[in-house]
Amino acid sequence: MIKYFKISSDNIISSYGGIGSIVETPEASILVLPLEKWLYYKQEIKNKDIDTIKSLSIDDQRLLKKLKNKFPNLEFLIEVPTNDTTNSGYRVSNDKRLITGEIFPKWMFCPRCKKFMVYDDWYDIHRKKHPNKDFDLFCPFCLDKKGENKISKVRLEQVRFIQISKNGEISDFPWEDWFLEKGHHLGKCEKHKLKYTTSPYSDNLESIRISCENCEGWVSLTGIFDYSYQDIMHTALRSSNSVYYPNIIRSLRIPIPDSQHKESDFKYSELQYIIKKATGTIEDEYDKIDLKKLDYIGEGIYPISIRSLSMTSVLCSYNRLTPLSFNEIFNKDSSRHVTEAEINTRYLPAVESLGEGFLMVFAEDILKKWYDNSGLEYNMKEHLIKESSIIEGLSDSKYLLAKYSLLHTLSHILIKQMEYVCGYSAASINERIYVSDKGPSGIMIYTIAGAEGSYGGIVTMVESGKIKEILKEAIEKAKYCTNDPVCYEDTSFCFSCCLLPETSCECFNRLLDRSLVVDKKYGFINELSDISKE
């Protein structure tokens, strides 16, 4: 079996994967283990001197101070290592820089002979039959079908079904218990030898059967998703989104010495810093942001070109079955730690990403004028009120709720329009919404280096003066949806008009409402006579 697989460090801290997630590789699916079990930790971090650990960490003091509110002993943001495989995956460039995982799920079957058992049993049988060969996940029974000179290899397959719990546990499905509890015509076998049989004509649960080689016992998989082991573990497909919800906090690398405890204040300080640096009122060698303020594109609205930025992303914990609220990084009743030291950890895994994009700044005057004229103070959409609790502070202020929902919707329709003009897919573009009751608000739209598209494309588009036209076209397209009138009369957003891949949206496609932008009575379009109006 190939021992090493190359995984981008950005994918170890992302919506797709990380510690506690199942990563699909060409050989098998792998469960990424906690930080202390990584070879990288054991050989490069554990028991090393401070200077060595610092050299392997990301120096983001602003973010470190914020995280200490949850992790009081935290000292280092350990940078996830990068490594290259050689010799077709049998070697790596640096064997000290390895992330460690284990095969999961462990129950595997042979699609030819149908034998069904856990990985350890397969391994033991292989070693007995072929003691001088590595176990490459080929069925040891089917290797001998054509003799040693013409080996017919059949690769084992992992089952699709696993079990997860609300407190973050994960385990193999209890196949033996299921067989004994649900099986038909069970014989008095000392130990049932299971087989896993699928139908070539159907893929429904009734057509998948577990049977015994020694007796007539069998059971189908009908009802498997309703089977709860000890009322705690729930059945899921290993590829299901519900298996892994990472809790990641992201921060721009900017030199703010004071720690903001509220997420809204933490983000607003970023907005203030960007505006001040873009207007030349502050200079700092610490940050890694290259900015250029551009001309106003409408009353109270101007863009800032972000030629480069540095963002730190830290994996704080993860959940299964249900995600945490937006911006929440740990819940003691449901979240799972990414280190064995748990809340007392000195380390959390992190990645630093370089990117580009733009910030569209909205003056407080134009947003307050829109809100006062809209009547939303008395007629806020019900679905927005229900979702307001996912972001701190929005449930206490209808104005902040309306402002966030407006800017969030504008961000989505801008990203959708940029797919047509910048060559990026929506999945490779990210957003960051800045809303406060203290001053201007903003929409940052950015992409990370290495993502799909040409690095520099967004900056070129913004600095060439096309951003006003893109905003105008985005608003015009938002007036209509292929699912209207149902979409508009219901929640005013769907995949045809506003929804993005969840990896692009900062709050899981919530707090959106197209009517806040384009409605003829209360839409923000009424304040944009110099940009777009019928």
Cα distance between residue 412 and residue 147, in whole Å: 60
pLDDT at 355: 87
pLDDT at site 261: 66
- The answer to whether 532 and 526 are in contact (CB under 8 A) is no
With bands split at pLDDT 50, 70 and 90, how would you rate the model's confidence at 146?
low
Query: Sorting pLDDT into bands at 50, 70 and 90, what band is 257?
Result: low
Structure tokens at 71: 């992790």
Q: Which of 99-113, 114-128, 152-166, 412-426 has the lowest mean pLDDT?
A: 412-426
Predicted confidence (pLDDT) at residue 110 exceeds the cutoff of 90: yes
The string of pLDDT tens digits covering residues 205-227 is: 999 999 999 998 999 999 999 99
* CA atoms in the 13 A half-sphere facing the CB of 283: 1
User: What does each C-alpha distance from 173 to 229, 233, 427 come to in angstroms?
Assistant: 9, 9, 33
Q: Place 38 in a pLDDT band, splitting at 50, 70 and 90.
A: very high
Contacts of 423 by beta carbon, 8 Å cutoff, 6+ apart: 453, 454, 457
Considering the entire predicted model, what is its pTM? 0.87
Q: What is the DSSP string of 335-398?
A: -EESSTTGGG-SEEEEEEEEEEEEEEEE-HHHHHHHHHHHTTTT---HHHHHHGGGSTTGGG-H
Q: Running DSSP on this structure, what letter comes out for residue 43? A: I
Contact status, residue 491 vs residue 461, Cβ threshold 8 Å: no
| pLDDT-derived band at 86, boundaries 50, 70, 90 | low
- Greater confidence (95 vs 235) lies with 235
Determine the 3-state secondary structure of 286 from DSSP. coil
CA angle at residue 449 from 66 to 27, to 5 degrees?
95
pLDDT, mean of residues 267-288 = 83
Taken in order 395, 400, 401, 402, is the CA torsion positive or negative?
positive
pLDDT band for position 361 (cuts 50, 70, 90): very high
* Confidence check: pLDDT of 148 > 90: no
Residue-level pLDDT at 202: 76
Q: What does the pLDDT read at residue 451? A: 46
Task: Return the higher-pLDDT residue of 458 and 15.
Answer: 458
How much is the average pLDDT of 168-179? 95
Pick the residue with more confidence: 87 or 370?
Answer: 370
Asked if pLDDT for residue 453 goes beyond 60, the answer is: no
Task: Name the pLDDT band for 231 (thresholds 50, 70, 90).
Answer: confident
Q: Closest Cα to residue 212, out of 233, 236, 235, 188?
A: 188
pLDDT for 393 equals 83
> What are residue 143's phi and psi, to 5 degrees?
-65, -25
